[in-house]
Amino acid sequence: MSKATFPDKLRMQMRMALPMIDKNIRCKANTSRQSLMQASGLNDNQLQAALRMAYGEKGVPSPVYRSPTAGKMYDSVALLKPIAKWCGMWAYVIED
């Protein structure tokens, strides 16, 4: 895969995780790094690169806590908007 297509591939893969993050917000649940990898189909390094690209200069968010079973847990609300904007999925950005 070339450097030119890598960000596009990550965007496409991260789009698949947005419904899961949205569902976690409605359920008032945090999102685990493991579930992000599973929903997007990315490995750990690719997920980290995608989060860096989505958050830009702000930097990747720190995990809210670490679960013994699920690993790193992120705040779902803090994940949704930056990732949705980066992916161009404006339906998740606009609030009701």
> What percent of the chain lies above the pLDDT cut of 70?
94
Q: Indicate whether 80 pLDDT > 80.
A: yes
Q: What tokens were used for 72?
A: 């790193």
Q: Mean per-residue pLDDT for 63-89? A: 89
CA neighbor of 87 nearest in space, from 41, 51, 33: 51
pTM: 0.86
Integer Rg of the chain from CA = 13
CA distance 72 to 2: 30
